[in-house]
């Protein structure tokens, strides 16, 4: 793994080479607000990116982290009705469009101690092919079990509930952050994100915001303004909204299905900045809270998955000075 990192650094820094694919998002722009994909500001990060269109989604995959940087989808009340008819089939698979040296592998997650966390939610998929696409490993990143089975599941359900209850569509971008001086690595060099985030724009109500979750079992999750998230991710998610007040506003997004069922109009949060970005993963922290719905199908699937993946020793801790992330993600 360390050899791979060193070779990649030599390739990108000294020879200025690019391994990003020739594919563009032109065939799947419908998944982006006003048909315009986010802009990655860092040229170094862009050199190792892969743009991937799927049947009903889009993914920007990083050859640096071997995870998706973000995944985009357009969700409507009608599409959620279609998704209810699609049975979930766990068909995790490697993405053959990614060169092997930069591809995440099924074996990377075995005995890692992490779930295979979805970016684009599998429960939002509207066809069998769409469901299959969501299990490509480019749409997956290492996620702590509690975060995946509890907090993130509740947020995904809340978003679907709010879309249905208010009968309005949403553009959703779900991604990963790599913050802090130390990051964990599993398998053949898959970086473990420090945070997961979900950015949402409700175009009919001029509301936009983000959920941000610390990637451990602490239950730390919060909302943030899009502009605050952008200052940490280095990505402009909605280029056509640049300068809009909606990007600088922190809204009170629903955190669970119960809140989603009661909210008819999302209000502005009085405190505009979140300190969630300064909170880094800590394996010693745990909520000790019982899962809210341990009988749910999603929980059972996550529990089964965790059992398959094992609870072995978590991947080694890598100093950013020894990895690509020192110069790319900072």
Evaluate whether 242 touches 230 at the Cβ level (below 8 Å): no
φ/ψ (deg, to 5) at 184:
-90, 150
C-alpha 298/C-alpha 195 separation (Å) is 21
Q: In what helix (H) or strand (E) does residue 170 lie, and over which residues does it extend?
A: strand 170-177
Cα–Cα distance list, 73 to 2, 106, 178 (Å): 34, 24, 22
Give the SS3 label for residue 197.
Answer: strand
Quickly list H helices, the chain: 2-9, 43-46, 77-83, 128-134, 145-146, 152-166, 226-233, 257-262, 297-309, 325-328
Which residues lie across from 115 on neighbouring strands? 143
> Per residue in 241-275, pLDDT tens?
877 789 999 999 999 999 999 888 888 887 889 99
- What CATH number is attached to the domain comprising 298? 3.40.570.10
Q: For 14-18, 48-52, 187-191, 294-298, which range has the lowest pLDDT when averaged over its residues? A: 14-18
pLDDT at 16: 45
φ/ψ (deg, to 5) at 144:
-60, 150
Measured between alpha carbons, how far apart are the two ends of the chain, in Å? 21
What is the rounded radius of gyration, in angstroms, for the C-alpha atoms of the chain? 18
- Give me the domain span that covers residue 208: 2-328
Please report where in the chains the tokens 């955190």 appear, as a residue: 255
pLDDT average, residue stretch 226-241 = 93
Evaluate whether 39 touches 67 at the Cβ level (below 8 Å): no
> Per residue in 7-22, pLDDT tens?
444 444 333 445 556 6
Give the SS3 label for residue 286.
Answer: coil
pTM: 0.85
C-alpha 325/C-alpha 12 separation (Å) is 12
Evaluate whether 193 touches 178 at the Cβ level (below 8 Å): yes
Evaluate whether 293 touches 299 at the Cβ level (below 8 Å): yes
pLDDT at 43: 79
> Per residue in 122-161, pLDDT tens?
888 878 888 888 899 999 999 999 989 899 999 999 999 9
φ/ψ (deg, to 5) at 97:
-75, -15
**Secondary-structure percent of the chain, ordered helix, strand, coil, rounded to 5:** 35, 20, 40
Q: Is residue 299 over pLDDT 50?
A: no
- Look up residue 93 and give its DSSP letter: B
- Look up residue 144 and give its DSSP letter: -
C-alpha 290/C-alpha 248 separation (Å) is 35
Evaluate whether 225 touches 247 at the Cβ level (below 8 Å): yes
> Per residue in 154-184, pLDDT tens?
999 999 999 999 899 999 999 999 999 889 9
Tell how strand 221-224 and strand 235-236 pair up.
unpaired
How many domains are there within the chain?
Answer: 1
Evaluate whether 151 touches 286 at the Cβ level (below 8 Å): no
Evaluate whether 70 touches 235 at the Cβ level (below 8 Å): yes
Q: Is residue 287 over pLDDT 90?
A: no
> Per residue in 70-98, pLDDT tens?
999 999 999 998 888 887 878 899 999 99
């Amino acid at each position: 793994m360390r050899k791979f990192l060193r070779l990649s650094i030599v390739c990108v820094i000294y020879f200025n080479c690019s391994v990003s694919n020739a594919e563009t998002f032109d065939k799947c722009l419908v998944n982006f607000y006003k048909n315009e994909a986010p802009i990655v500001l860092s040229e170094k990060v862009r050199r190792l990116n892969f743009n991937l269109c799927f049947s009903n989604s889009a993914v920007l995959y990083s050859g640096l982290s071997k995870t998706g940087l973000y995944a985009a989808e357009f969700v409507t009340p009608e599409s959620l009705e279609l998704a209810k008819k699609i049975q979930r089939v766990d068909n995790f698979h490697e993405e053959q469009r990614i060169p092997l040296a930069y591809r995440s592998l099924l074996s990377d997650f075995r005995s890692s101690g992490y779930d295979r966390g979805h970016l684009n939610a599998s429960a939002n998929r509207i066809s069998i092919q769409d469901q299959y696409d969501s299990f490509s490993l480019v749409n997956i990143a290492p996620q702590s079990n509690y975060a995946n089975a509890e907090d993130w599941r509740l947020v995904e359900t809340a978003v679907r509930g709010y879309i249905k209850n208010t009968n309005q569509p949403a553009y959703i971008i779900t991604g990963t952050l790599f913050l802090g001086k130390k990051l964990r690595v599993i398998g053949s060099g898959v970086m473990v994100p420090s945070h997961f985030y979900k950015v949402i724009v409700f175009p009919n109500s001029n509301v936009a915001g983000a959920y941000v979750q610390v990637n451990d079992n602490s239950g730390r999750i919060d909302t943030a303004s899009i502009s605050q998230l952008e200052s940490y991710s280095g990505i402009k998610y909605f280029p056509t909204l640049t300068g809009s007040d909606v990007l600088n506003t922190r809204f009170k997004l629903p955190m669970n299905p119960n809140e989603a069922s009661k909210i008819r109009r999302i209000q502005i949060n009085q405190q505009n900045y979140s300190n969630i970005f300064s909170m880094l993963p800590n394996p010693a922290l745990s909520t000790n809270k019982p899962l809210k719905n341990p009988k749910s199908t999603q929980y059972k699937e996550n529990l089964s998955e965790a059992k398959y993946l094992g609870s072995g020793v978590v991947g080694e801790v890598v100093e950013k000075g020894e990895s690509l992330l020192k110069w790319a993600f900072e």
